[in-house]
Structure 1
Amino acid sequence: MLILILAYYLGQSVHSEAGPIPASIEPRDISLCDGQNSWRTLPSIVWSCLSTIFLCTWVAVHPNVHFRPEKHGQRWLGKWLWDSLHELVTYKLPLFLWALLVPEYILAWAVRQYVQAGVIGENGWTRTHGHFMIMGGFHLFQLPADAPSIPLPLKSSESSSFVIPTGDHSRGDEVPVCPLKFEDVPVDILKIIAPTETELKDRGKSDTLTKIIVMVQTLWFVVQCIARGRQRLPLTELEVVTLAYATLNFFIYVFWWEKPQNVECPIRVYKASAASHQESGKEQDKWPKNWAGRLITKVAVYTVGAQDHYVKISEKHSIPMFWSGRPKDEAMALAGLGPSVLGSAFGAIHCIAWLSEFPSRSELVIWRISCVAMIVVPCIVTLFCVVAAADERMGGNDPRWMLSILIICTGLIIVSAWLYIASRIATLVIAFTTLRSLPPVAYTTVDWTTFIPHI
């Protein structure tokens, strides 16, 4: 948000494309221009790039429901200032940094949720219902002891532990328990309490028109970059970085198109005060007890997105940030295959600036090393996903060489993960430092008349 505000004020200095010629363009370079609206200013470049990056890293992310119990008797300052800042620092800002530094991880998360939402949709629901369940849209509450209720019936005419309140009581006295998984609630009960697809979309803070506008604006930036390439006009390093974000952002939006965005309040599902809750499904895996094994396992597990298997939802007050509904191992491996390939493509896009003019030799070398790292590391993840998917297909009866590849890939992922993050930070920093000395031709705008048939 601060980056966007800064870019906005930088953009205020741009009054017209036909204003004075930038100081960095010398008189001998004026021949590059056609005399009318043929150059752009540095603030306009920065504003265009930062606004697009903001759309790709803040607006495009569809977070899970971050449930926060209401506090009784809270003062205005704490409710509107402290709680908002706490939400920003502990949840929204970390998501923004993930999207900024490892955007393909966000894409892999979106793909896993898309796949699992489809599995839930096979039970007569829409994919929107599946997304809503996975993102923590249903939360279990216990009614006060004196609150009257009636049990919800099942098809078998048996009563369930889930109830509907029938009397007058304070909603503030209801006790939040935990988020609910699809396996925790019988399908008969879900059909009674679940909203329609239209009602679920209404709960989101973004509609189809908003998403189309974001995608059109992002696509327009991509078109401008392609047009500059067709006319042999250089892209700044900041534009190259932004182009990579815009390309990946398109796929993120595709897989999250049916997921409600920025839902803050889940649907309350009730049990009586005396009723207990037992989490359904497979029991979660256990982390290694020694710190070294725990660290290695966590890095490997979070890299491939398998952290759901180590989470016990019934012990959580809110759905985990990157929860994907605990998809099957084979589906998870296949879901990670596409994003890892696109991750390599994301790094390859940075190679557009491989032969660009850098202000210093060190910036050129660091940029090239970072490009190679951002291509190679996702390739390792791709190999891991392919072998892991094959291992699941073979039912664990894989040959020794396949197990060796998995072990080697895991080790390389653990070592190279830090190199990848360092490379992402390096390219972001260099994208801004190179703005201090752009070649004059970088300020030349696209001559759109060459793309439009005219007499």
Structure 2
Amino acid sequence: MIVLLLTYYLAQSVHSDAVPISAPIELRDVVSCDGQNSQRTLAGIVWSCLSTIFLCTWVAVHPNVHFRPEKQHQRWFEKWLWDPLHELLTYKLPLFLWALLVPEYILSWAVRQYVQAGVISKQVPGWTRTHGHFMIMGGFHLFRLPVDTASIPLSLKSSKPSSIVIPTGDHSRENDDPVCPLKYEDVPVDILKIIAPTETELKDKGKSDALTKIIVLVQTVWFVVQCIARGSQRLPLTELEVVTLAYATLNFFIYVFWWDKPQNVECPIRVYKTATEMHGESGEMADKWEENWAWLGKIFFYTVGGQDSFVTISEKQSIPMFWSGRLSDHLLFGAGLGPSILGSAFGAIHCVAWSSEFPSRPELILWRISCIAMITVPFTVAILCAMMAMGLREGNDLNNLEVAILIICFFLIILSAWLYIASRIATLVIAFTTLRSLPPAAFTTVNWTTFIPHI
């Protein structure tokens, strides 16, 4: 509701019929407190927007642990250039593009992890949501000890030894054999209490702290306040600023849900089994994709976040990029409802520039079509999630009308997935192409902004 009210206010303020963009600028709008003209530059506008977008997409994302086996006797070229570049191009850059093109999907992923972390933290005495996040993100990794390595099995409350051991005597970690990430079901609660770090130790493993997160939030809030101030003084926002405002609003919620998640953890905690001990999948077995309609199912389940049910973690070298654990069905669809609604609000914020002066009519039409697509596609997902969540929670069978609505939403999601991505790309491209011809009032600075400390 707050996001929608913000969109409505800005749309009314910036594009009021009483003061159109092409209207002459009043003296009070261009004269600062010291009586001098106050103007901003195109470079300043672009830098402010790009820095905020970067903070919202690159810094705000908290990835899972991307485990990579350690290589021995590496040459300096591989260690300092090739491996970091490979990591950037194959993992961090794709994740950044996902956050740039489909930010509400990142929000949905953050909400699913937040919910699942809360569920796990209640199962282990003394655990917090930070521990739950660390478990989900692949923070514990199974290793096999080399043959003939001395070890002691950890005992459970029942005094029965477990398959998890502690190495003793002469042992080099370089010779450990990595197996797979561990899920919560793979490790008994008694063992987790022994091997899990404290919350302070977990936060120390992250590459970010509360101060860094506060700086990002302050920069984001500053940009939003500046946009509201421009609207209050009837000063236009550029299309790039409108796009940035949408990112800032949505990514604020991403940061909130990932506040307790350690950021950019690269080395998981090692959990050991002997060389002869076998490891199988714990908990429910993974589902199988239907061979004939696998592509339809993948589009649907990845959209609603249900792809984890088809993943066998014991066969993976690293935790999947968007892994958030296997939520129960009602929690899964419930967790997708809020992000879908916020996704529609994200598209609605772009409507602030609905009546802006575009350099050409095709750009105006394409912008409006993209806005409609970015509102309707997430809203379709919200309808599906709401109906599924209510139906699964109440345990009642759906009537014919509800089934028909679900089928329609299902096919709309499959058919419109590419349309949404195309719309996101279109708005980003138009946001930059319109910079070639901005109205004079777009360069006018809000009088009081230069007196407020900001980054």
Residue 76 of structure 1: how far off its partner (Å): 1.1
Measure, in 1, the Cα distance between the counterparts of 2:81 and 2:36. 49
TM-score by length of structure 2 reads 0.91
What are the equivalent positions in structure 2 for 1:24-43 lying under 5 Å apart?
33-34=30-31, 36=36, 38-43=38-43
Q: Confirm or deny: 8 A CA contact 1:101 1:421 kept in the other structure.
A: yes
Instruction: Name the counterpart of 1:415.
Output: 415
Letter in 2 for 1:33: V
Q: Confirm or deny: 8 A CA contact 2:226 2:449 kept in the other structure.
A: no
Measure, in 1, the Cα distance between the counterparts of 2:395 and 2:176. 46
Q: 2:143 aligns with which of 133, 141, 144?
A: 141
Instruction: Name the counterpart of 1:194.
Output: 196
Letter in 2 for 1:357: E
Name which of structure 1's ranges 141-150 and 442-451 shifts more when overlaid on structure 2.
Answer: 442-451
Instruction: Name the counterpart of 1:59.
Output: 59
- 1:124-158: CA deviation from partner (whole Å, max 9, x where unpaired): 21000000000000000000011100000000000
Residue 448 of structure 1: how far off its partner (Å): 1.8
Name which of structure 1's ranges 166-175 and 207-216 shifts more when overlaid on structure 2.
Answer: 166-175
Residue 175 of structure 1: how far off its partner (Å): 0.5
Q: Confirm or deny: 8 A CA contact 1:387 1:405 kept in the other structure.
A: no
What are the equivalent positions in structure 2 for 1:62-211 lying under 5 Å apart?
62-123=62-123, 124=125, 125-211=127-213
Measure, in 1, the Cα distance between the counterparts of 2:97 and 2:36. 40
Measure, in 2, the Cα distance between the counterparts of 1:126 and 1:449. 41
Question: Which protein, 1 or 2, shows the higher relative CO under an 8 Å CA cutoff with sep ≥ 6?
Answer: 2
- 1:165-196: CA deviation from partner (whole Å, max 9, x where unpaired): 01212212110000000011000000000000
Q: 1:248 aligns with which of 240, 247, 250?
A: 250
Letter in 2 for 1:340: S
Measure, in 2, the Cα distance between the counterparts of 1:116 and 1:378. 22
Q: What secondary structure is seen at the aligned counterpart in 1 of 2:299?
A: helix
What are the equivalent positions in structure 2 for 1:325-404 lying under 5 Å apart?
325-395=325-395, 397-404=397-404
Instruction: Give the fraction of aligned pairs with identical amino acids, expressed as a percent.
Output: 75
Q: Residue 405 and residue 106 in structure 1: after superposition, are their counterparts in 2 closer, same or farther (change >3 A)?
A: same
Measure, in 1, the Cα distance between the counterparts of 2:129 and 2:65. 17
Name which of structure 1's ranges 69-78 and 102-111 shifts more when overlaid on structure 2.
Answer: 69-78
Measure, in 1, the Cα distance between the counterparts of 2:404 and 2:146. 56
For structure 2, the residue ranges without an aligned partner over 5 or more in a row are 1-23
Q: 1:227 and 2:229 equivalent?
A: yes
TM-score by length of structure 1 reads 0.91
Letter in 1 for 2:354: W
Q: 1:278 and 2:289 equivalent?
A: no
Measure, in 2, the Cα distance between the counterparts of 1:122 and 1:68. 30
Q: Residue 261 and residue 450 in structure 1: after superposition, are their counterparts in 2 closer, same or farther (change >3 A)?
A: closer
Instruction: Name the counterpart of 1:430.
Output: 430
Letter in 2 for 1:422: A
Residue 395 of structure 1: how far off its partner (Å): 3.1
Q: How many residues of Structure 1 are paired with residues of Structure 2 in the alignment?
A: 423
Measure, in 2, the Cα distance between the counterparts of 1:265 and 1:353. 45
Q: What secondary structure is seen at the aligned counterpart in 1 of 2:165?
A: strand
Q: Confirm or deny: 8 A CA contact 2:65 2:319 kept in the other structure.
A: yes
Q: What secondary structure is seen at the aligned counterpart in 2 of 1:355?
A: coil
Q: Residue 258 and residue 446 in structure 1: after superposition, are their counterparts in 2 closer, same or farther (change >3 A)?
A: same
Residue 30 of structure 1: how far off its partner (Å): 9.5
Residue 364 of structure 1: how far off its partner (Å): 0.5
Residue 259 of structure 1: how far off its partner (Å): 0.2
Measure, in 2, the Cα distance between the counterparts of 1:449 and 1:176. 54
Residue 47 of structure 1: how far off its partner (Å): 0.2
Residue 402 of structure 1: how far off its partner (Å): 2.1
Q: Confirm or deny: 8 A CA contact 1:126 1:197 kept in the other structure.
A: yes
Q: Confirm or deny: 8 A CA contact 1:330 1:393 kept in the other structure.
A: yes
